[in-house]
Structure 1
Amino acid sequence: MDNKAYYTDDIDIENGNRCLTDRPLYVNCAGVCSFEVDFSGGHEKGREDFYLMYLCRGELSVAFGGRNCAFKSGQLIIFPPKTPCMYKNKPGTHVDYFWLHFTGTKAEALLENARLPLNRPINVSVDERILSAFQQLFAEFMERDFLFHTSIVSKLVDVCTLFGRAAASLLEENRDGVTLSASLRYIDEHYAKPISVKDLANLEHISCGHFRVLFKQKTGMTPTYYITALRLRNACVLLKQTDLTVKEIALSVGFSDQMYFTRVFTKQFGIPPKAFRR
């Protein structure tokens, strides 16, 4: 991995550290650091903007706010403005980390919405989707067309969204050991076939009762309602985009009886399938 640094305003390094209050979000600069030798760095007086670090290899010792913490591979840390922070690698280790500096009136709200706390390491894992999102951000710095500023802000939101989801997923997995990813994937791929709660619970290696509770907590729906809603959404697409009969659509999304399909569809949307198509 090569060291890279990109600045929004050409190579104006001074303006790569500023707090802006005249726009919602703004990326000051971004890059990646790779060190195979012992090193130390940081900002003794803090920065004017938010400072995000994502460690994807090695380990750092980080000092900030009068305390020290170990910052490990697969973790993210975000420092707010005016926060002095210093860091150094664990002796003899190779370190790779991505960094991003951003500002704006909505910067703090973006982090709050993504449930990304400040001033502490956050477990997110080394995720290829996050690494790819940074590479896409860097690509925008090199392209720098007329939509450059809009695009890098969009990429900032993408990165924070990925971090938020990764952190929430790991937190949930650590809490009860079950993410429901296997069962949700199975439903998405086999919704048109008969699916039992027992089969889904077996995929997660838990009891049916425990599965129902966790599923309702995660989706806000019972498993049966979730599957029915998915079938109806796909039925709507087929009604709009194909010339299939109502009976053919009912069968293709998992309803074996056209009358039952019509009754459930009408209850959900307030009109029968044929009226919806018109």
Structure 2
Amino acid sequence: MDNTFFSRFHPRVIDVLLRDHRFWFQLGKPTRAVAFESTSIRNFMFVVRGSGILSANGAEYPLTVGSVFYFPYRSKVRISYTSEEPMQFYSVHYDYKLIEWDGGSVICSDPQESHMPIPIVTQTTDIESFSRSMRQLYEQWHGKAADYEWQSRLMFLSLVNEVRRLYLQKNEGDLVRRAINKSMDYIRSRYAEPLEREELAEVASLSMSYFSIMFKKVAGCTPTQYITKVRLDKAKQLLQSSELTVSEVARQVGFQDPLYFARVFAQHAGMPPREYRKG
């Protein structure tokens, strides 16, 4: 996420529209798709009814109720609806400059990129709240109160920031999931060794408390429970495929106390290790 971009982002709302069935007419005839060879205006949109597909520069993105999407500037774009009724969406026409303060002076520059540093399509998690905010922006713009442009810009900034927040949240979730998966791989490759929470948290590059919370969220169990599951699964394999004694199996899978191993195994498998071997 380019935080420097948003610290300089200074938008201007040009228009706020509600695109309904009238949008889906070309040359007086109804159509299921509208295409632009090169978008000449920046658009920020939110689907309130129906579903469709956005095609931008050859890539396709599905759209459903709650989808926030925008047209990359000066791009080949096609939007179509796949629902039975025409897709409806709010559309904010906007432009922006990049404003940067250098001491007491201001540097204003035109954006060089066609994309904002957020995904072209984002699915909102609170559709009702986002829909309400879009409706308020629409009503504010068309109400034309004395300060409507200022208020509309604030509302638009809030909407963009919510999309940015969702993007950051998703990225953080993906990074944490990868970190937890890395620690799970580590456990599966070293289950026979003593494994401490501090060591696993270090492998995941997370604090111990956060590691424990996120491990349970991702794996569905605590790190200790997962280690036990991996060790017992390996013990079952050894009991059925080797001539090792129960004590030897226990030590090979990381249990130093054979009696403790037998008790834990019986709780997990519903029978002692020797009976499991006979089965």
The TM-score with structure 1 as length reference comes to 0.46
Which structure would you say has the larger Rg?
2
The TM-score with structure 2 as length reference comes to 0.46
